[in-house]
Structure 1
Amino acid sequence: MFTKKRIIQFCLVAVIFIAADIWMYNTLTDSFVSYVEERNYNEVGLFVQTAPENNEDIPNWLQGVSSIIPDAQAMYFDYDPNLFTFVPSTGGSPISEQLWNQYGQTTEFTAAMESAYYLEAIQLTTRYPSIIDNDQTTVRVFVAPIIAENGYEASGAVMILVPTSGASGYARLLGIFSVGAAIAFLAVAFVIMFTRDPVTGFMVLGLFIIVGIFVAFPLFEALRLSFFRNNQFSLDRWKTGLSPSYIVALWGSLRLGVSTATISTILGFMIAFLVERTSFKQKKVISTLATMPVISPPFSLSLSIILLFGNNGLISKQLLNLGNVSIYGLGGLTLVQTISMFPIAFLTISGVLRQIDSTVEDASLDLSATRWQTFKSITFPLTVPGILSAWMLVFTNSLADFANPLLLAGNLRVLSTEAYMMVTGRMNDLGGGAVLSFMLLMPTVTAFMVQRFWVSRKSFVTVTGKPSTTLTELTTAPVRRILTTLTWAVLGFILMLYLTIIAGCFVRNWGIDYTFTLENWKAIPDSWDSLTSTVTLALISAPIAGLIAMAAAMLIVRKKFPGKRLLEVLMMTPYAVPGTLIGIAYVIAFNKQPLLLVGTGAIIVINYVIRELPVGLENGITALHQIDPSIEEAAQDLGADVPTVFRTIVLPLVRPAFISSMSYTFVRSMTAVSAIIFLISAKWYHLTIKILSYSENLRFGLASVLCTVLIIIVLGVFGLLQVLVKDDKLTQKTISTR
């Protein structure tokens, strides 16, 4: 593809476009600067005509210049007839006086005063440095005469400093667009001229643009802040972050993450195996109950735990009178996070177990292997990609969680809470919070690389084009009863926590006043706008995140292209970064041109999609690892292009992962807290923020009502997804006993 002719053509096209781009940039910039300077010159002339006759009113008049020209500074000069020149008067701004003291004796300023003497206003050609509102900038200097009543002599002169930030801001914005246009044009030209499969090239290019703008750029802004203090390079924040105090918090995060991920993965595997690989009957009920913890705000289960098992809890204090048992700390926090996050492992492992072709298992049993030997040597190894993915997703989610530690950490210090408090607490140190958040990336990236290395060393293909439609029962009746008992015990405990929330809807104030009331239900009409905006944004985000995740998974697993590992790491990064940092980084990056998105619904949708992409990507990669590439290669040999293969082959085969991705994105969008708390606006408010506000004000009844409504909505959308996105039975299997 890289022939001499094509390289010459590409270079020629690039030179022509870049030359045209530079010419257009210079032309537009010069035109705008000329327009701004002419407008400022006219406004200075109009301002001078309003000069008061009484010199005592001059100081107040000078201060009014900023109402005509934004951020302008002015200084007045009296005419001295003995010296035949102008001398500085009092009342001018300190900035203008400082500039005059530094440059007033230069040739250009002397010439300007002479022009004012001859009744001619002038704009100095040099742009002078100045400090306005603590920001270093350059200013244009205008000197204009104040004409006396006789009309033929000057009674004084005024010097006005006009910041060039408007013109320079336009030039900077235009420069960004020009560079972006050049990069986009060259990238498109490169893909067309030098790739064998332009469609794949454009898909890869599109993904890089998405993660570049909405992942790398905001994190770069956060990283830049961590190395700067008061606009000067400094390592003070990193020295603080790496101090023993915060190393203890990092160790606390690791302990919490490892314990939560390990227990959640074991629990998720146990329930997923019961649902997908046994003849257990109530599978839909179990699946629904197992996914319930992700369909409520993350802090709602913590509140239930506190109300039931806290120091004054209903069970721990009033029923069992356990005075020495505390739910606060590592144990209680691990319990709550495990309950909240094991559905991630359950959904991930369920998709893997559902994809397994039992032909090899049947062969093992036919060769007189026991069920345990078959499970240990065949079934379990085939689920390793899903287990590792589930462990990593729960681990990173545990590190990034701050709402549960905020309520239950007790004496346990974790970095996510420390970062949140540093940013939003008394310190208000955005850069310091960024440092602590970036420290969380180190264990996450390590876990990610270990998981990728392990999966790449082995083959886990089981779907080869002729998948079996049945799965062999690998459990005996006693084992199945044990799994069923443990599963119902776990789900019963979870159900008790949610019943606590429902009960809270009908009491005046849980834990204080248990009087029955229906007044709490007034929270629904009071929060109707928040409810509709939350549902709308979540419904928009779910299909977008699902399609992008499945397309990215197909490219990463099936295609070879430069930067594949970088793309994968960038797409996985948002899951490891605390939501508070993502939210603040988005505010910093997208609260200015050219992407002014803060305050709109678009920034919330983008946050949802980017934050939940890793789950869909992991599900898609895990599912594709089990599908033989020859199925897609056969379609391509028959003339199908990449979009057709993705739509007709890949998407149906990874349907469980696709549905899980959409469902998870929708739920997480409905229950998000940490990131969107910085991105909401008066028009686009979020229901969970309303619930958090009620909870912080101890109005648990109102919060319980909104939690219940939110759960009902999510369950309804879950059911609707199952109806609308019907399974074509391609991967559905039945359980057979031997």
Structure 2
Amino acid sequence: MVVKTRKKPDVWTTVSGFFLLFFALFLLYPLFGILKESIINPGGEFTISEFTKFFSQPYYSKTILNSFKVSIAITAATLLIGIPFSYFYTFYRLKGAKTLFVVSILCCMSAPFIGAYSWILLLGRSGVITQFLKNSLGINIGSIYGFGGILLVQALKLFPLVFVYMNGAFKNIDNSLLEASANMGCTGVKRFFRIILGLSMPTILAAALVVFMRAFADFGTPLLIGEGYRTFPVEIYNQYLGEGGGNHNFAAAISVIAIFVTALVFFLQKYATSKFNFSINALHPVEKKEPAGVIGVLMHVYCYLLAAVAFLPQLYIIYLSFRNSNQGVFLEGYSLASYEMAVKKLLGRSVKNTIVMGIGSLAIIIVFAILIAYLVVRRASFVSNTIDTMSMLPYIMPGSVIGIALVIAFGKKPLALTGTMIIMILALVIRRMPYTIRSATATLMQIPMSIEEASISLGASKMKTFSRITVPMMSSGIISGAILSWVSIVTELSSAIILYNNRNITLTMSAYVAISRGNYGLAAAFSAVLTVLTSVSLLIYLAVSKSEDIQL
């Protein structure tokens, strides 16, 4: 008689089941709630009237066109200024390269609306630069508001993303390919466009997608300086939290449209990337050259001028935080009055909430990212690919959509989480996990399976091998992704503005609330503290990792 023994469930099967349940409950279920609210009216009847309303009235449907126009323009502008910046940085020994790297990264790590707020103070109708040029030189530079202002602010903020992506791609180009092209007469500008950019095309497309998605989903910049130029995320916010009480069904319908639009762009990018499906490996890395003569001077001028202009808003905010102010007007003289007011206006609570929610969210993200990366790379299957796809969905959605989805799903019993810190942490984990997952996955793919097999053959268990061998070897990718997740967590606005309350207010929200109420001195103080926090985070990362790069 043969006794059949039940096979013990594999630990990774349990992990897969957990993630399927997690994403089903905290992502798919909330998104289904949005869909349901968009097609079921308050009387409980099925209707598509909200979608008809959106597409039949140009006042609303034009927001899609506006978002596409400005996002495409921002993407083109960041590629145009970011690729040369990265090329000069990677292929030439620029003086102060470390400073250039840190400053440019800090530009894209600030809260999305701080740059817009600062540029209003610099180039607004009564801005410092605007008034100086008008009164001293008689030059009227026009308005920062509208399409041009959004393009300026976002291009200067997001070009470092292109720089970071392209820096990694350029470093992977084998120098022997460049030497071969030179031997065949392809040099200079011709080689740059035909060889270097050709080999970097997958990365260019990836960088373009990241910039486009960030620009398309941006809420703070168009809200502050868009004025008559209305964009998609702002319209979702206005319909959900409008002054007249909002139209939740209409906001849900717009959110559904946003999901389809961003998903379409994502899959188009994936298709375009598949057309450039090749890999390169720098067996002979490119050797940096000395930038000599006039060309060398122009390289330094271009890089330092671009970094300085992009970093100007952060410096100006810190400067203004020490200026005297009264009722939204900055006065002569300097003091700590704005910081004293900030202390009275929830600075302590804002910093505490930011750090507590940030550390809590990041701890969950790191654990989840390690497990999902291992499932995707070492336990590839339909289930693990499904988990990977679900984890990436929030990456392509506006934060306001995630916020609204969570409010709809968990705004009432049996799982009423709205107004708690838990729902804020959930939103941060769901939205910001893709950064660490992608970085951890890329690192694990480079670790040979033979290392783990050797550990197991020497008597170590699979879990001991995973925890003692695999995870430590993934540390560089984990840390790199974690710093990006951390900074995006502490500067989160678009989902936080839907979910926050006074008990759970963060630094980003405190700064935004102060701006919306016209208290610019207080806003400058909150923004300066936030800028310092993100700067310290980056410097700690660079010190701990002993790296001069952030890998994406």
Which TM-score bucket, shorter chain as reference?
A: 0.7 to 0.9
Give the counterpart letter for 2:127 in structure 1: G
Q: Choose the corresponding residue for 1:429, options 247, 251, 254.
A: 247
Alignment-derived partner of residue 24 in structure 2:
212
C-alpha distance 458-496 of structure 1, shift in aligned 2 (>3 A) = closer
Give the counterpart letter for 1:259 in structure 2: A
Alignment-derived partner of residue 308 in structure 2:
492
Once the 2 structures are TM-superposed, how far is the Cα of residue 474 of structure 1 from its aligned partner?
6.8
Q: Choose the corresponding residue for 2:405, options 579, 585, 604.
A: 585
Give the counterpart letter for 2:435 in structure 1: V
Structure 1 unmatched runs, 5+? 11-188, 733-738
Alignment-derived partner of residue 428 in structure 2:
608
Once the 2 structures are TM-superposed, how far is the Cα of residue 406 of structure 1 from its aligned partner?
1.1
Structure 2 unmatched runs, 5+? 457-461
Within 2, Cα distance between the matches of 1:395 and 1:481? 32
C-alpha distance 449-313 of structure 1, shift in aligned 2 (>3 A) = same
Question: What is the SS of the residue equivalent to 2:230?
Answer: coil
Alignment-derived partner of residue 239 in structure 1:
52
C-alpha distance 721-572 of structure 1, shift in aligned 2 (>3 A) = same
Alignment-derived partner of residue 270 in structure 2:
452
1:693 aligns with 2:513: yes
Within 1, Cα distance between the matches of 2:302 and 2:451? 45
Once the 2 structures are TM-superposed, how far is the Cα of residue 251 of structure 1 from its aligned partner?
0.6
Question: What is the SS of the residue equivalent to 1:516?
Answer: strand
Contact 1:226 1:434 in 2 (8 A): yes
- Structure with more strand by fraction: 1
Within 2, Cα distance between the matches of 1:613 and 1:648? 23
TM-score (norm 1): 0.65
Alignment-derived partner of residue 338 in structure 1:
155
1:576 aligns with 2:390: no
C-alpha distance 723-538 of structure 1, shift in aligned 2 (>3 A) = same
Alignment-derived partner of residue 222 in structure 1:
34
Alignment-derived partner of residue 16 in structure 1:
none
Within 2, Cα distance between the matches of 1:273 and 1:436? 40
C-alpha distance 598-352 of structure 1, shift in aligned 2 (>3 A) = farther
TM-score (norm 2): 0.85
Question: What is the SS of the residue equivalent to 1:495?
Answer: helix
Once the 2 structures are TM-superposed, how far is the Cα of residue 274 of structure 1 from its aligned partner?
3.4
Alignment-derived partner of residue 37 in structure 1:
none
C-alpha distance 683-696 of structure 1, shift in aligned 2 (>3 A) = closer
Within 2, Cα distance between the matches of 1:558 and 1:343? 32
Within 2, Cα distance between the matches of 1:423 and 1:552? 34
Once the 2 structures are TM-superposed, how far is the Cα of residue 366 of structure 1 from its aligned partner?
8.5
Contact 2:91 2:289 in 1 (8 A): yes
Alignment-derived partner of residue 599 in structure 1:
419
Within 2, Cα distance between the matches of 1:318 and 1:608? 42
Give the counterpart letter for 2:530 in structure 1: L
Question: What is the SS of the residue equivalent to 1:232?
Answer: coil
Between the two proteins, the alignment pairs up a number of residues equal to 532
C-alpha distance 585-647 of structure 1, shift in aligned 2 (>3 A) = farther
Within 1, Cα distance between the matches of 2:514 and 2:159? 27
Alignment-derived partner of residue 164 in structure 2:
347
Within 1, Cα distance between the matches of 2:531 and 2:546? 23
Within 1, Cα distance between the matches of 2:295 and 2:464? 45
Contact 1:261 1:338 in 2 (8 A): yes
The correspondence of residues 252-651 of structure 1 with structure 2, limited to 5 A, is 252-320=66-134, 321-323=138-140, 325-354=142-171, 356=172, 358=174, 360-361=176-177, 364=180, 372=188, 375-376=192-193, 379-425=196-242, 426-463=244-281, 468=283, 470-473=285-288, 477=292, 481-509=297-325, 512-518=329-335, 519-526=337-344, 527-549=347-369, 551-553=371-373, 555-556=375-376, 560-563=380-383, 566-619=386-439, 627=446, 631-638=447-454, 640=456, 641=462, 644=465, 648=469
Give the counterpart letter for 2:396 in structure 1: A
Within 2, Cα distance between the matches of 1:469 and 1:530? 49
Question: What is the SS of the residue equivalent to 2:72?
Answer: helix
Contact 1:353 1:383 in 2 (8 A): yes
Contact 1:296 1:711 in 2 (8 A): yes
Contact 2:410 2:418 in 1 (8 A): yes
Within 2, Cα distance between the matches of 1:352 and 1:551? 27
Contact 1:364 1:374 in 2 (8 A): no
Question: What is the SS of the residue equivalent to 1:233?
Answer: coil
Deviations 1:413-462 (A, max 9, x none): 21111111111112511121121122223332222213323444555434
C-alpha distance 642-399 of structure 1, shift in aligned 2 (>3 A) = farther
Contact 2:452 2:469 in 1 (8 A): no
Contact 1:371 1:474 in 2 (8 A): no
Once the 2 structures are TM-superposed, how far is the Cα of residue 565 of structure 1 from its aligned partner?
5.4
Deviations 1:474-523 (A, max 9, x none): 78646554443222121111232223212212323398442214211203
C-alpha distance 324-394 of structure 1, shift in aligned 2 (>3 A) = closer
Within 2, Cα distance between the matches of 1:302 and 1:520? 20
Question: What is the SS of the residue equivalent to 2:286?
Answer: strand
Alignment-derived partner of residue 459 in structure 2:
none
C-alpha distance 613-379 of structure 1, shift in aligned 2 (>3 A) = farther
Deviations 1:95-148 (A, max 9, x none): xxxxxxxxxxxxxxxxxxxxxxxxxxxxxxxxxxxxxxxxxxxxxxxxxxxxxx
Percent identity (aligned): 23
Contact 1:523 1:706 in 2 (8 A): no
Contact 1:397 1:575 in 2 (8 A): no
Which protein is bigger by CA-based radius of gyration?
Answer: 1
Deviates more, 1:366-375 or 1:700-709: 366-375
Alignment-derived partner of residue 135 in structure 1:
none
C-alpha distance 666-422 of structure 1, shift in aligned 2 (>3 A) = same
Give the counterpart letter for 2:116 in structure 1: S
Contact 1:295 1:670 in 2 (8 A): no
Deviates more, 1:247-256 or 1:357-366: 357-366
Once the 2 structures are TM-superposed, how far is the Cα of residue 213 of structure 1 from its aligned partner?
2.2
Within 2, Cα distance between the matches of 1:473 and 1:374? 16
Within 1, Cα distance between the matches of 2:17 and 2:30? 19
Contact 2:164 2:550 in 1 (8 A): no
Contact 1:600 1:684 in 2 (8 A): yes
Within 1, Cα distance between the matches of 2:468 and 2:186? 41
Q: RCO higher in 1 or 2 (8 Å CA, sep ≥ 6)?
A: 2
Within 1, Cα distance between the matches of 2:549 and 2:250? 51
